[in-house]
Amino acid sequence: MTVLSRIFCNAFLKKGMLIFLSCFLFASEGDAATVKDLRMGQGSDGFRLVFDADAKFNYKAFLLNEPRRLVIDAYNISVSEKVENFKDKNHLISKIRIGSIDSDSKRIALDLQKPVIIKKAFMLAPQSNLGWRFVIDVKSATEKEFNSHIGSRHAFNNTDKELSTKNKSKVTANTPSKSKKIIVLDPGHGGKDPGAIGYSGVYEKHITLAMAKELKAILDKEGRYTVYLTRNTDIFIPLRDRVKIARKYNADLFMSIHADSAVNRKATGLSVYTLSETASDKEAEALAERENKADVIGGLNLLEHSKEVSDILINLAQRETMNRSSEFASFMVQEMRKSVKLVDNTHRFAGFAVLKAPDVPSVLLEMGYLSNRTEERQLKQTSYRKKLAESTSKAIRKYFDNMYHASVF
């Protein structure tokens, strides 16, 4: 065993003779448990995973996607190589990875070959010739069921009052919901820049501000985020200043909100953009050019130094930030698909100036076409914008749940 112990003995003497000796073995408060082995069995509709340990420990078990995996965060433990080298004969687990959350806590990530949901997770006390066991029962599921159980808010964890205060504090310290993420919402256009002008004459700048305020209200209610707007009123802010605002607040996520327009008034659908120096198609390239030229209105003509600026921004557009932006965009598409019409190839790439913060994951949402009579009418309705805001909040929740847990690897 790796657990260090202390022995306390009481000896009772009578007339110079030792008549009774009692010894007690205690695990010291700072001792770590060891997860020694993993066993697995298959039932009629699922699997049981049993982790053998030499002591009780705090845990948190949940599901994550991309790749599909079962994750166990275990606190104040060590993990033997036998667990990492476990060979699955039931074709559920393709790989096991062990990572460190901190000096005393581990993450066990089991890459799954098929979708499951967690039915229950619990500790079993020693009995017969068996020691402590951590048990997880998972049930075969559809992709839809699996996706509906992703993230820490669906986690199974223990709150045994007998566990030490030290272990409990570790669970609290590693719970993502305890630290608020910073989100900066950017209502497109404003002031002397009206943006797109709708079918009936509505200005894009008013629609985007209304949407940003409604989304902020929803996110504020969740209590997980600190949300800022680049503008709260009808004022003009240069595009580069919007990026500076996001960086000033040390944003974890930046989202620019827009509504599209097109010569073809039959064009409809929502789209989501992330950064690319090479636009994904001619339509995206043209839209990016229109949006970027808004800086000319504020007296800053970006095109005068396009080569120099382009070279600098390409160097600053770090790969990790772009990947995280794309991951959030994928969650946006998943959620929006459930409630509104999307354009083909919904996730698009363009060189929007507001997406070029080198260290802030950023997306640009085009809510629909104001040039289309039906979509303009919808975007003017509070109920429709709230539907978009609800879908966006779900995507944000999924993104931060996923990014928090993926960051260990």
Ordered DSSP codes for 230-268: S-SSS----HHHHHHHHHHTT-SEEEEEEEE--SSTT--
Q: Mean pLDDT in the chain?
A: 79
Which residue in 389, 390, 396, 397 sits closest to 208, CA to CA? 389
What pLDDT was estimated at residue 328?
92
pLDDT digits (tens, 9 = 90+) for 238-296: 988 998 899 889 899 999 999 988 888 888 899 999 987 665 666 566 666 666 666 54
Q: How confident is the model at residue 390 (pLDDT cuts 50, 70, 90)?
A: very high
Q: What mean pLDDT comes out for the span 50-59?
A: 93
Identify the CATH homologous superfamily for domain 181-406.
Zn-dependent exopeptidases (3.40.630.40)
User: Radius of gyration over alpha carbons of the chain, in Å?
Assistant: 27
Q: What is the pLDDT of residue 277?
A: 60
Predicted local distance difference test score (pLDDT) of residue 194: 93
> Is residue 387 scored above 90 in pLDDT?
yes
Instruction: Give the count of beta carbons closer than 10 Å to the beta carbon of residue 143.
Output: 11
Highest mean pLDDT among 29-38, 97-106, 306-315, 386-395: 386-395
| Domain boundary assignment for the chain | 34-177, 181-406
Confidence of residue 358 (pLDDT cuts 50, 70, 90): low
Closest CA to 316 of 365, 408, 255, 243: 243
Quote the Cα angle for 267-268-270, to 5°. 135
Omega of the bond leading into 67 within 30 degrees of 0 (cis): yes
The DSSP result for 127-163, as a single string, is: BTTB-EEEEEEEEE--HHHHHTTBSGGG-EE---TTS
The pLDDT-based confidence of 207 (bands split at 50, 70, 90) is very high
Residue 158 neighbours by CB under 8 Å, 6+ apart:
58, 59, 121, 122, 123
Looking at residue 79, its amino acid is V
Is residue 310's pLDDT more than 60? Answer: no
> What kind of fold does domain 34-177 have according to CATH?
Immunoglobulin-like (2.60.40)
Between 245-254, 284-293, 313-322, 387-396, the lowest mean confidence (pLDDT) is in 313-322
Which amino acid type is present at position 341?
Answer: K
